[in-house]
Amino acid sequence: MSPAQKTFRMVAASFVAGASAMALVGIVGPVAVKGGLSMGDAMATTAELEAPAIEPLDIELVHAQLAEAERSMEAARATTDRAMQRLEHLSGK
């Protein structure tokens, strides 16, 4: 076996060993540190399932936000319209 092949095999083996170690630490490490599935995690899951899936909307708040957005768009449109008219005038269109 040539020295280049030995070097390639050594680099490939090192890469595979490093990737395996990272996968092991990333998957098994958190479970080992937390001691597996704890009762607190199980209770949190149960409490989450009992909560309503969709929170009710405050319609008045939504209408107020839409009105504010409309005012903001009108102000931006007025500024943009003046700038576009000036640009068209300067460009000779």
The domain segmentation of the chain, as residue ranges, is 1-51, 53-93
Structure tokens at 44: 């949190």
pLDDT > 60? residue 44: no
Residue 71 has what pLDDT?
A: 95
Distances 81 to 5, 45, 71, 86, 89 between C-alpha atoms, Å: 69, 53, 15, 9, 12
Kindly report the backbone phi and psi dihedral angles of residue 25, in degrees, each rounded to the nearest multiple of 5, phi listed first.
-65, -40
* Measured distance CA(55)–CA(72) in Å, rounded: 28
What is the total residue count of the chain? 93
Give pLDDT tens digits for 55-90. Answer: 788 899 999 999 999 999 999 888 888 888 888 888
pTM of the model: 0.35
